[in-house]
Amino acid sequence: MTITQAMVLAAGLGTRLRPITDTIPKPLVPICGKAMIDYGLDALADAGVTRAVVNVHHFSDQMEVHLQAYPRMEILVSDERSALMNSGGGLAKGLKLLQPGPTLVMNADLFWIGETPGRKSNLERLADFFDPDRMDMALLCVSLDRTTGHNGKKDFNLAPDGRLTRYKDEDNNPVVYAGALVLHSALLDDAPTEPFNLNIYFDRAIAAGRLFGIMMDGQWITVGTPEALPAAEDVIRQISGT
């Protein structure tokens, strides 16, 4: 199915990326001349998203100017100037600005490049995979050897049927969460109004056997520190041939 709405989590402080983020919000840090958040927004637009909510906090005025100029979809702002809501609280607040229904969710500081030409995109495959009758959430995952800038942490184990559980040392199919998921907005109807981490809902879904994942195509990139920027740009140039 085509999912036409999304939430982009972009309100973090980017403290590990200082001093760059002393003057610019992390999602606007340029990578190969393109704002970090635009890699994710372009992926959403390519997958058919026409309306997205983006939450803002750090240098929110800069964020709003940039988002207003983004040409490929309608963007609504979820204002967290007064208080950061953490990943779960920010998502729950932002979803209220969208219509009830299936929604793609992305982190603004994680993206991928090098998907296979002629194949459905990662987000299109994720939307097709999601089955709300069986799943609370479906996560896009990546193997450790397809990551750039990652700290080496393994997040989940992916079972043959697609179910995800928290990674343990004895597991044989470790994966990294690639920062994109799909859910039905009703999942967070009971969410608290104060800040909370989305991991609470991951763990609930695991306990119910309703957290699923698929493997992404391409190379996954995260930029958490200034030292990670050159590595990210090198990979982009290598894969894009520029």
The CATH number of 5-240 is: 3.90.550.10
> How many residues does the structure list for the chain?
242
pLDDT of residue 93: 96
Q: Are 94 and 67 in contact (CB under 8 A)?
A: no
Give the separation between CA 170 and CA 141, rounded to whole angstroms: 19
pLDDT, tens only, 104-155: 999 999 999 999 999 999 999 999 999 999 999 999 999 999 999 888 889 9
pLDDT of residue 242: 62
CA nearest to 60, candidates 26, 86, 25, 18: 25
pLDDT of residue 133: 96
pTM over 0.75: yes
- Name the token pair of 104: 């793609």
Q: Are strands 5-9 and 102-107 parallel, antiparallel or unpaired?
A: parallel
Residues of the chain short of pLDDT 70, as ranges, are 242
